[in-house]
Amino acid sequence: LNSVTANHPFYKAKGAELDGQIKQFDGEVTDTKPLFLKLSELAESAIKSSIWCTCETSGRISHSSDFLRCAVCSVASCRDCCHGKQGYQLDSHDIKDVHLTSDEHDSNSFEMTLRSLMPPSLHMDKEGLDKMASLCDDKYRVDGLSDYVFVLHRIKRHRMKWIAVYYARDGVIGEAVAEFKIIIGEVESRSETADRVIGVQGELKSFFPARKEPLQFGNIEPCAIARQCTGDLNMKWAMRAPESTTCLKVVGHGSTDSFRVQVGLTKDADAELKENASAKIKAKKFGAANARGEERRWIYAKNWMEWPEEIMVTDSRDPSEGVLLGGKYVRAGCKQTFNQSACWIRKNNGVDPELYLLLKPQVARTGPDYGIISTSTNHDDVSSVLAFLPRDWQPCDALIREKQDIQKVVISNWAPLPGMTCQASKSNFVVEAPTEDVSPVLIRMTGLSESDMNDLCLRDDPDGIKTEVHLSVHRGAKAQQTVKRYNLLCAAPFLKFAAANGLKYDLTPVASWNLAKPKEIPFGCCRKTVPERPTETWYFNEERGTWERNSEPGASRRYFIALQEAPQCFDFVVNRSENSLTVNCHPEVAAHHAAFSLIEGRGKGLERDVSVHFRLLAYQEDPVLERFRLHSCHDLNKTFVKLKQPYELYERQQKAVTKMLGIEERFVNFEEIEMNEQPMPGSTAWSLVAKASRSTNLRGGVIADAIGAGKTVISIAIILHGIVKARSNRSFPRKSSATLVVVPPGLIDQWKSEIKKFTDNMPNVICLYDTDTLKKVSVEKIVEADVVVCPVDILESHGYMSRLAAVATGTSREGEVPKLPTYSGQIEKNGANGVWIPASSQDPFGGANNPRNQQRRNEAAYFTHVYHKYIEQLRQKNFEKHERGIPLEYFEWERIFVDEIHECLCTSKDEMNEAKAKKDDNTGFFMEKNRRAGRELLGITTKDISKRPLVFRSAIFGLTATPLLDSTNRVIELANLMGNAYVVGLSNHWRNLEKESGRDIFLSNFLEPKQSREVRRNIYSKCQDYLDHSCCKNKNEEDMEGIELVKHREVVNMSLEEGELYKSSQSGINPSAQSFAIKVEDFDATAGHDVSKFLRQNAKLACRGKKLVEICKKILSEKGSENTKIIVFTDGRIGAGDYARDCLMAEDGLGCTWLDKEDSVQAKNKKLAWYQYGDVTEEDKRRPRVLVLHFEHAAGLNLQAECNNLILFTPLYIGDGGTTGDPVNDASTELQAIGRVFRPGQPKSKVNVYRIEVKGPNGQECLDGQLIRRNTDEGTIQMAVNADD
């Protein structure tokens, strides 16, 4: 026996108990007959607990208990995956309903049962292997496999079966030399009309033919199988016998579409292949292939478009030679579940078994797919294949008389192998585990041989001088080798013991949480477990002319060493005197990490409020990936707030006020949690998860009522309700009674007019447009104000940062004040998809990362550093009442409202191309830099709320009609901004990485645990929990009663000349592939494609401009609409706004108004006001009737009083092609645009929305049609608004 076998002597294991708390493992099984009998009896349970739907292939369990299964091909799917346009299309299948209870479909429970039965190792009978070798001249090199032990490698769930894989290895941890696969469940897939074959099957596969001369290439098939069906008493073995050949007559009848026709190929494809084969450069190779009989590797068969409906097979063999293949095979109608949708079935007639003619794929693509005849509908059931048709045979050949006689059909033969057995190897190992949590011991194995211990300790104690050795199993190549040996020796016995006896911690997904108790140091404060990161300073690099980070010499090295020496959650200890390996578990390690992430940087004393629970998991459930939902305030009481007559709040608005006041008055309790997962090294897949929690009262909320539902008046009501208290709270010099309203710059005057409209109880309203207006306002006025309205991008206002620096530090030198960075900080890519990566260690990501990324991160981080330093110095000062121009960051506000909060959260897809986008945006109004300025002003990366730029006493509220909560990242950001509520994952949020140093990015990747299913599940549930507590979304049906939204699609065809320009603008696309049907997804930026040129050309088509003028004239020509006002929304990023403006200005008597980049904020607000109010003066009446806006202006404007006609000049798409687009974001923006006129207060009974759709010269659908369909999809719209109904 080799060394592996020597470590498994065949004698009974003996063990001892530890203080009465140790459970014993007994591995006495030698004969596997009881094992396989039991497994065959479990076959039905194995099927029910197996994979029934593609959604379960990642390890999750479908939340549906109702499944659908085809009676013919056996494809199965859960009900949840069969609804809507994107679900499975099962129209071609014979579908049957299957109901599985949660207990029947519980894969975790069945796996535990299976692990409790499966022996850690198996041994093949030498006599049976020798017989196999003698019968086949040892073709499969099985002679000697009896010297190896097959060790359990893994147990895995498959479709309709479970598989346990055992490997025999060469040496201690060498390469596998053989595999024994045990299948439990459906051994062969068959239609419902055939006899079921369920039970247990073993497949023995030797790898020696691929490792020893003479080498065998290609797939290695099993050389022996063993099968025991449910109800059988014994396992029947068979070995692969020499193949034989025969002749078959295969005649087709009837005609059906071939697979190529079904998937949409036409005669053009055939013609292209023939043209390619006849090309001068290819003709010689094609001729040679044709001479070898390989013509079909180049071109299609002549009758490739049709396949036979029935195939009659004639088999002239004698019945003694095996299963006869003759009979009538009828094509199954099932599509996309068989390879090439090819399956012809010979029905069971009571005498002959049901057979299936299939096309088996050549996965390696070394040849064509080839025909097989099998007793299973699954071509992967290799032991079920009866015959292999020649490689050049295709189903269409059955319709050609000359090709119906098939020679050299290979018959697969199996010979009985009586006497062959496999046995469960006995072991001297004893596994034991304490039943109570009185010590760190989690599980222990005794009975290790000296060679076992030497091998485990080879990397940590090579000389064998230590009695007790703590193994390095966590990081590094040395640890990997130790873990590999541990897996072979211990993983299977540990799993078997845990499945049969359990551990001191419950391993099931529904296990209760265990309370962790700190020993001496409060959780989150242990600097040995969580070492303190080196501090950073900034210095000016004279040579480069940039500010760069610096830290104490050697600090990073010392920190990294501290990380390596930090205690680990799992500790593997070998004791040579006891011949044992002990796994110790320290939950307090994970508890410290979880608590630290929850409290770090958020203020002092929070550790006193933190409690930590933990549990040990073997199985984890997938999160429920449903879209986030916002709920109404229907069940709340009403709060009455008196408004200026004749206005009063609707009932739903009064209830929204109630919910927000509950937050403001600290009545809404929310449990903040953070989680940390510590996986146990090795293949047991156990992990310890700690959950740190802290109960707190929410300090912010979100009013997400529908567009036009009155979010502004709700906000005004909240301000009015607390105005007396706010005025009593003010005191000089910092405490203002004002509510600070932070808005997109175009909404400042609108807010002022809305306040004036709904109340006369707030006389002190201050509007700050920019730095110049701030300089005119004194400290006294700000402190005594009721409302201060400022633009969200005030940091971008000329001179604001200089003013802040001058007031805070006294500096007046412009060069010392950093400017807001042009770029956001960039996150380095650590993976590549579809990008060719050069073999260069200097650029491992093939240019995917911009070499300036770190410089941009430094610029962003330095600006934040200086900005907060200014604020800290500013707040240490005292100012006189008369002093003017004191920055907003100095004051403490009663509350804060952030209008259109989603503008600050979302980052458009073309942010990385900001420099290119800027030249097309002629407004400077809602550009990406405004969003960055808003995020900086709101302190998105500052955890301590008292140190944020804007400080409030009562609460902070966000307003948005389209919250865009399509990902957990956005919910986490929202919670962070709205009062610093902590949702799982905030400490590792990607916004932090925008400004990290290269060192900290490395450490983040090094330290940050990957988000497991358990953590992701909690993130999703906690995000929804936060939305339930803090957000409300009410509809406004009563306001929109009697107002009809009429949608018009104005279609225009390109000219032939425009069509050529349209196709030629598809930059980077092969000219032969340029077409009217091309999609933005067909553009791949990594392959040099430039979708922006295509989008620009599409926007600037002359026919589009003519259609715009035509629509405007048509509207203005209608009786009673001669003086109506029209809003046109365009995509400024691709120059559509400029082109629309030019077309309108070129038309006599039409013209338009637009927002120029040189306009001040006040000038822009004034222009917008022309279209918000009626014409009074003659000058008003002479102004153009059309206002051209960019989609960036789509949020917040109230234009309904004077406008009821809106034109979408181009459908919106933001992205670089491929998968970079964001349909939810684009649909949301278009909804916002429509909501400028279709909203409460619209005096007209009809609102018209016109979409211009440009088609090809002959009416072909082009980009417009694709994007309109995408942006108006109901599912996408639901995700954009996050409505609960």
Please give the average per-residue pLDDT across 1246-1257, as a whole number: 93
Q: Are 782 and 790 in contact (CB under 8 A)?
A: no
CA distance 825 to 860: 6
CA distance 1125 to 516: 67
pLDDT score for 909: 39
Kindly tell me if the per-residue pLDDT of 229 is higher than 80: yes
CA distance 1098 to 919: 18
Please give the average per-residue pLDDT across 1224-1241, as a whole number: 85
Q: Are 900 and 959 in contact (CB under 8 A)?
A: yes
CA distance 426 to 10: 5
User: According to the 3-state scheme, what is the secondary structure of 239-287?
Assistant: EEEEEEEEEEEEEEECCEECHHHHCCCCHHHHHHHHHHHHCHHHHHHHH
Q: Are 1214 and 1256 in contact (CB under 8 A)?
A: no
Share of the chain above pLDDT 70, in %: 90
Kindly tell me if the per-residue pLDDT of 993 is higher than 70: no
Q: Any idea which of 95-99, 391-395, 1219-1223 has the lowest mean pLDDT?
A: 1219-1223
Kindly tell me if the per-residue pLDDT of 992 is higher than 70: no
pLDDT score for 4: 29
Percentages helix, strand, coil for the chain (3-state, rounded to 5) are 35, 20, 45
pLDDT tens track for 1008-1027 = 656 788 888 888 899 999 99
- Cβ-in-10-Å burial (0-12, 13-18, 19+) of 1088 comes to exposed
In this prediction, residue 808 has a pLDDT band, given cuts at 50, 70 and 90, of: very high
Q: Which residue has the higher pLDDT, 883 or 909?
A: 883
Kindly tell me if the per-residue pLDDT of 292 is higher than 90: no
pLDDT score for 923: 33
∠ at Cα 853 (851, 857), nearest 5°? 150
Q: Which residue has the higher pLDDT, 43 or 16?
A: 43
- Cβ-in-10-Å burial (0-12, 13-18, 19+) of 420 comes to buried
- DSSP secondary structure of 965-1005: --SHHHHHHHHHHTT----TTGGG-HHHHTT--HHHHHHHH
In this prediction, residue 593 has a pLDDT band, given cuts at 50, 70 and 90, of: very high
Closest C-alpha among 886, 880, 859 to residue 803: 886
CA distance 237 to 414: 10
In this prediction, residue 930 has a pLDDT band, given cuts at 50, 70 and 90, of: low
Kindly tell me if the per-residue pLDDT of 838 is higher than 60: no
Kindly tell me if the per-residue pLDDT of 174 is higher than 70: yes
- Name the residue type at position 77: S
pLDDT tens track for 816-829 = 788 887 765 544 44
Query: Is this prediction's pTM over 0.85?
Result: no
Kindly tell me if the per-residue pLDDT of 1 is higher than 60: no
CA 1021 to chain centre: 16
- Cβ-in-10-Å burial (0-12, 13-18, 19+) of 675 comes to buried
pLDDT score for 28: 46
Kindly tell me if the per-residue pLDDT of 367 is higher than 60: yes
Q: Any idea which of 302-311, 883-892, 925-934 has the lowest mean pLDDT?
A: 925-934
CA distance 678 to 622: 18
Kindly tell me if the per-residue pLDDT of 5 is higher than 50: no
Kindly tell me if the per-residue pLDDT of 633 is higher than 80: yes
Tell me the backbone φ, ψ of residue 1121, rounded to 5 degrees.
Answer: -115, 20
Rama region for 444: left / alpha / beta (φ>0; ψ in -120 to 50; rest): beta
Share of the chain above pLDDT 90, in %: 48
Closest C-alpha among 1117, 1080, 1052, 1118 to residue 1251: 1052
Cis preceding-peptide flag for 395 (omega within 30 of 0): no
Closest C-alpha among 17, 940, 120, 1048 to residue 497: 120
Helix (H) or strand (E) holding 961: none
* Token couple for 431: 């596994």
In this prediction, residue 849 has a pLDDT band, given cuts at 50, 70 and 90, of: low
- Name the residue type at position 298: W
Please give the average per-residue pLDDT across 376-392, as a whole number: 92
Largest separation between any pair of C-alpha atoms in the chain: 112
Task: Output b/e per residue, 758-793; b: 16+ Cβ within 10 A.
Answer: bbeebeebbbbbbbebbeebbbbbbbbbbbbbbbbb
pLDDT tens track for 1141-1156 = 999 999 988 999 998 8
Name, in order, each residue with C-beta under 8 angstroms of 160's C-beta and a sequence gap of 6 or more: 47, 50, 51, 52, 74, 76, 185, 186, 189
Helix (H) or strand (E) holding 380: none
CA distance 580 to 471: 13
> Over the Cα atoms of the chain, what is R_g?
36
Closest C-alpha among 441, 729, 696 to residue 587: 441
Q: Are 959 and 703 in contact (CB under 8 A)?
A: yes
Please give the average per-residue pLDDT across 873-887, as a whole number: 94
Q: What is the residue whose two structure tokens read 């909804």?
A: 1231
In this prediction, residue 9 has a pLDDT band, given cuts at 50, 70 and 90, of: very low
CA distance 590 to 799: 48
CA distance 771 to 790: 10
pLDDT score for 598: 92
In this prediction, residue 172 has a pLDDT band, given cuts at 50, 70 and 90, of: low
Closest C-alpha among 907, 900, 906 to residue 961: 900
Task: Output b/e per residue, 1091-1127; b: 16+ Cβ within 10 A.
Answer: bbbbbbbbbbbebbbebbbebbeebbeeeebeeebbb
pLDDT score for 979: 87
Strand order in the sheet with 611-617: 514-516, 611-617, 687-697, 669-679
Tell me the backbone φ, ψ of residue 26, rounded to 5 degrees.
Answer: -115, 110
In this prediction, residue 906 has a pLDDT band, given cuts at 50, 70 and 90, of: low
pLDDT score for 1216: 83
Q: Are 409 and 361 in contact (CB under 8 A)?
A: no
Q: On the CB side of 19, how many CA atoms lie within 13 Å of its CA? A: 8
pLDDT score for 525: 94
In this prediction, residue 376 has a pLDDT band, given cuts at 50, 70 and 90, of: very high
Rama region for 540: left / alpha / beta (φ>0; ψ in -120 to 50; rest): beta
Kindly tell me if the per-residue pLDDT of 1007 is higher than 70: no
CA distance 1006 to 995: 17
Own/partner long-range contacts of 80-84 (Cβ < 8 Å, ≥24 apart): 80/55, 81/53, 81/54, 81/55, 84/1275
Q: How large is the angle between the packed helices 928-938 and 853-874, nearest 10 degrees?
A: 40
CA distance 580 to 449: 9
Q: Any idea which of 85-89, 396-400, 737-741, 749-753 has the lowest mean pLDDT?
A: 85-89
Q: Which residue has the higher pLDDT, 90 or 989?
A: 90
Across the strands, what pairs with 804? none
Q: Are 589 and 553 in contact (CB under 8 A)?
A: no
pLDDT score for 961: 82
pLDDT score for 1263: 93
Kindly tell me if the per-residue pLDDT of 288 is higher than 80: yes
Q: What is the residue whose two structure tokens read 């708390």?
A: 21
pLDDT score for 729: 93
Dihedral angle sign, alpha carbons of residues 1009, 1015, 1016, 1020: negative
Number of CB atoms found within 10 A of residue 60's CB: 19
CA distance 684 to 451: 23
pLDDT score for 1005: 62
pLDDT tens track for 434-444 = 988 889 999 99
Q: Are 18 and 430 in contact (CB under 8 A)?
A: no
Beta 95-99 vs 422-424: how paired, if at all? unpaired
- Name the residue type at position 943: K
∠ at Cα 890 (887, 896), nearest 5°? 95
Q: Which residue has the higher pLDDT, 363 or 808?
A: 808
Closest C-alpha among 337, 384, 57 to residue 221: 384
Q: Any idea which of 375-384, 598-607, 830-839, 851-860 has the lowest mean pLDDT?
A: 830-839
pLDDT score for 828: 45
Helix (H) or strand (E) holding 1054: none
Quote the mean pLDDT of the chain: 85
In this prediction, residue 1036 has a pLDDT band, given cuts at 50, 70 and 90, of: low
Cis preceding-peptide flag for 214 (omega within 30 of 0): yes
